[in-house]
């Protein structure tokens, strides 16, 4: 395989990437063309406030070409579409060594141990002898180990982020069995699935993204658990004993009245996706309903916990 390498300004990066994909390239990546130089510029945003333009002042756009696709044909399509007109010397090709990309990708994702009870296991490690076994009938799930089979997919959460670990650890440490649980912002469904495997009686999983809802349903089926996954408008009225939301600080503050109102008297609210420096302001947003305190911190992130008065 070969890669076509182009340089473009910030304003052109998104349109160029889209046009390359329409022209038939396999993938497109955008890099800082001035990276590792004095002109290198950072690209980041506050959690919940992503940069409006996902590009730098000067960008290196790298397109992976399938075998048989002529780069001159791609450049001609870009020119005809009015996206860019690259002349000789303004673009380059470089070879990509042949590799077993599936095997290399899978090698990046290994089983993850979370706390003392939970293992997140990609399907290709299902029979890995390094992963402690659990009873097939689920008899050990309430008091022993829990396996969550989860493959990297649509970037809805694979269990590797500290905030996910914190929420999983709270569930493992505090669920005693037969609780009702709401996972708001479920993503891949990892927290909802964990709650069910840890003994929760009923679990509702909600996300604003239809693909996330479908991902949660699929992963629940893979893990042989029953839960209800839905969009917010489909969530029935009512309260649960445990509400967990691993999102970001800004939406958590906006959702404070709703999330707090979903907690039964005596029930628990667990929030994450919050940086340590944001903990006080998020807690303040929930103060009219619950006293939220940092339960545990990891790598600059926190998990907040509050219990509603009985």
Radius of gyration for the chain, computed over Cα atoms and rounded to the nearest angstrom: 23
Instruction: Give the helix ranges, DSSP H, for the chain.
Output: 13-22, 71-80, 101-107, 162-174, 190-197, 210-222, 249-254, 256-261, 279-286
At 305 the pLDDT is 98
- CATH class in words for 2-98: alpha beta
At 124 the pLDDT is 83
Do 272 and 171 form a contact (C-beta atoms < 8 A)? no
pLDDT grade for 45, boundaries at 50, 70 and 90: very low
Instruction: Give the helix ranges, DSSP H, for 96-231.
Output: 101-107, 162-174, 190-197, 210-222
User: Domain 154-307 belongs to what topology?
Assistant: Rossmann fold (3.40.50)
pLDDT grade for 57, boundaries at 50, 70 and 90: confident
As beta bridge partners, residue 293 has 305
**Rounded CA separation 26/61 (Å):** 13
The structural domains of the chain, with segments of one domain joined by +, span: 2-98, 154-307
108-159 pLDDT, tens digit per residue, is 678 888 988 999 988 888 888 878 887 655 444 444 889 999 886 544 566 7
**Rounded CA separation 244/53 (Å):** 31
0.85 exceeded by pTM:
no
């Amino acid at each position: 395989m070969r890669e076509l390498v182009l340089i473009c300004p910030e304003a052109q990066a998104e349109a160029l990437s889209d046009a390359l994909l329409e022209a038939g390239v396999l993938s497109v990546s955008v890099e800082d063309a001035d990276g590792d130089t004095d002109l290198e510029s950072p690209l980041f945003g506050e959690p919940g406030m992503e940069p409006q333009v996902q590009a730098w002042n000067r960008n290196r756009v790298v397109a992976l070409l399938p075998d048989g696709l002529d780069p001159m044909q791609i450049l001609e399509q870009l020119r005809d579409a009015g996206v860019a007109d690259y002349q000789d010397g303004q673009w380059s090709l470089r070879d990509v060594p042949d590799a077993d990309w599936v095997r290399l990708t899978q090698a990046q994702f290994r089983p993850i141990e979370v706390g003392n009870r939970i293992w997140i296991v990609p399907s290709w490690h299902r029979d890995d002898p390094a992963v402690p076994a659990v009873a097939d009938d689920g008899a050990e799930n309430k008091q022993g180990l829990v396996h969550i089979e989860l493959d990297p997919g649509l970037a809805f959460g694979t269990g590797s982020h500290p905030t996910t670990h914190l929420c999983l650890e709270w569930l493992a440490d505090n669920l005693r069995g037969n609780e009702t649980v709401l996972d708001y912002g479920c993503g891949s469904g990892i927290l909802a699935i964990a709650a069910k495997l840890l003994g929760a009686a009923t679990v509702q999983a909600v996300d604003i993204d239809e693909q996330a809802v479908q991902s949660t349903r699929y992963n629940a089926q893979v893990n042989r658990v029953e839960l209800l996954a839905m969009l917010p408008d489909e969530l029935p009225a009512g309260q649960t004993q445990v509400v967990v939301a691993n999102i970001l600080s800004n939406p958590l503050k906006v959702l404070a009245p709703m999330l707090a109102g979903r907690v039964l008297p005596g029930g628990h609210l667990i929030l994450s996706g919050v940086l340590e420096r944001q903990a006080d302001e998020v807690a303040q947003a929930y103060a009219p309903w619950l006293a939220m305190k940092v339960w545990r911190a990891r790598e600059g992130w926190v998990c907040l916990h509050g219990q509603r008065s009985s």
